[in-house]
Amino acid sequence: MELRRRPSKIQSRKPSQAPPKASDALPLPLYLTNAVFFTLFFSVAYYLLHRWRDKIRNSTPLHVVTFPEIAAIVSLIASFIYLLGFFGIDFVQSFIISPRASDDEEDDDLHVVVRDNACRPPPLVVPTLASEEDEEIIRSVVDGTIPSYSLESRLGDCKRGAAIRREALQRMTGRSIEGLPIEGFDYESILGQCCEMPVGYVQIPVGIAGPLLLDEFEYSVPMATTEGCLVASTNRGCKAIYMSGGATSVLLRDGMTRAPVVRFNSAKRASELKFFVEDPVNFDTLAVVFNRSSRFARLQGIQCAIAGKNVYMRFSCSTGDAMGMNMVSKGVQNALDYLQSDFPDMDIIGISGNFCSDKKPAAVNWIEGRGKSVVCEAVIKEEVVKKVLKTNVDALVELNMLKNLAGSAVAGALGGYNAHASNIVSAVFIATGQDPAQNIESSHCITMMEAVNNGKDLHISVTMPSIEVGTVGGGTQLASQSACLNLLGVKGANKESAGSNARLLATIVAGSVLAGELSLMSAIAAGQLVKSHMKYNRSSKDVTKVAS
């Protein structure tokens, strides 16, 4: 079925072919018609209930009705029929329309919704844009009468809003987005949470690396990527770790941060706030105020930095299984409101002053940590290094020193003492519904390699101080991302131990990075990098033939 409706196709369609619309009952705009019947329905329902209650109290027979009551009953039935027709027509059609229509028949007006099970959202079909009403809305969006961002709230239908916005966009730009899919996505699930003004969704293939043997458990790691060799390389690293007995991980720290900036009239006054906040007695009081923001938020510490008469307060707190940015921000706002009473001359410049630091490379995250701080290690046996990784221990140790340590120092790297940690972090983040922008600080990693057991085996470790992940909220609730979290066994909130799922996900990310680092470094040491990328990361399509 064609996803996009061209203007000529819409205009040539006869009004009699348009699907029935309950809004045709009144010559009013859709939202006014709905408002009239909603108001009428609830008003007369309230009036009748009130009248019947009085009759019961006065022992008056209910069948004795007055003219106003008859009018109210007629109005109730009429408004009910309208509302049922408007909101129930698609539901009724899903049972009436035969699912046996052949593939060759036109199915523009067929809206068949099938639910496989309660955990899987239904496959969605594109709402038709062939009605006069939709055509009028499209023209209104194009000429600016109706804002594009208001379609969902005006129509009460996210699928229809996305389809209308899509068509309006194509008319305004004069460019087709036919290759951008719109079918098969639950647009209700992103409303007010993940994305505004949607016109479709982007497809990213998901591969599986593993099993990753980590802390005596096996994990099949989903990776969403468009880079060839990445999943295959990580999978090879997982194999080497598995054959060597597995990897182990340690969670060093778990705390999300937010750092507001406030200003005073003098540096002396600013220092007084710093001393006040860092006083243990005052901290306990601030913790009580902060923790009121959520049943999972628990203030861990406040670190202050002063720049002249400006104070940057870096709040750190645990956030359960959520990544926690909203949670910590609410707690910080509570604390600032409380401090305002003791420091009325404090001018709150911003809830975030970049001392946090979010979505930017920063030494404070590299040193102090943000989110989950994890160390993951493994000892790779000599025979595995030779047979699976096709290199030797000495070559790996030397390459790591000259590339990941010395080479990164020469480049002035900040937290980038690794081969490609960002590759694995980004792929797992996208697959599991994390914020991709937080890949910046989450990819801070130092990879260490050392010959052990008399120089025969390889000890490899990755230290990642700021992995920012969650298993609830944001994109984690979308169907595809939720499935990937379920595959790892960390879907949703852990009811027995709050925060356990998010912490486990952080260790899996670190374990996956360990596997990726081991495999890529081995490929470079063995001189296989260019060869493998030429084989797996190049398209066979003839690029000289440009598609029209």
Closest CA to 388 of 231, 536, 240, 209: 240
Query: Which class for 291: exposed (0-12), middle (13-18), buried (19 or more C-beta within 10 A)?
Result: middle
- Could you report how far apart the first and last alpha carbons of the chain are, in Å? 21
Q: What is the DSSP letter of 82?
A: H
From residue 488, give the alpha-carbon distance in Å to each of 210, 219, 347, 481.
11, 6, 46, 11
Measured CA to CA, the distance from residue 456 to residue 125 in angstroms comes to: 59
3-class SS of residue 311: strand
Annotated active-site residue 533? The verdict is yes
3-class SS of residue 132: helix
Measured CA to CA, the distance from residue 156 to residue 198 in angstroms comes to: 15
The alpha-helical segments, DSSP class H, found in 377-443 are 382-387, 393-399, 408-410, 421-432, 439-442
Please say whether the beta carbons of 170 and 177 come within 8 A: yes
Inter-axis angle of helices 421-432 and 479-488, to 10 degrees?
120
Kindly name the residue from 21, 359, 390, 459 that is annotated as catalytic: 359
3-class SS of residue 122: coil
Closest CA to 218 of 246, 196, 249, 259: 246
Annotated active-site residue 227? The verdict is yes
Annotated active-site residue 178? The verdict is no
Annotated active-site residue 444? The verdict is no
Kindly name the residue from 134, 135, 435, 517 that is annotated as catalytic: 435
512 beta partners: none
Cβ atoms within 10 Å, residue 138: 24
Kindly name the residue from 157, 227, 272, 450 that is annotated as catalytic: 227
From residue 279, give the alpha-carbon distance in Å to each of 60, 274, 297, 300, 312.
73, 9, 21, 14, 16
3-class SS of residue 466: strand
Catalytic residue numbers, as ranges:
227, 359, 435, 533
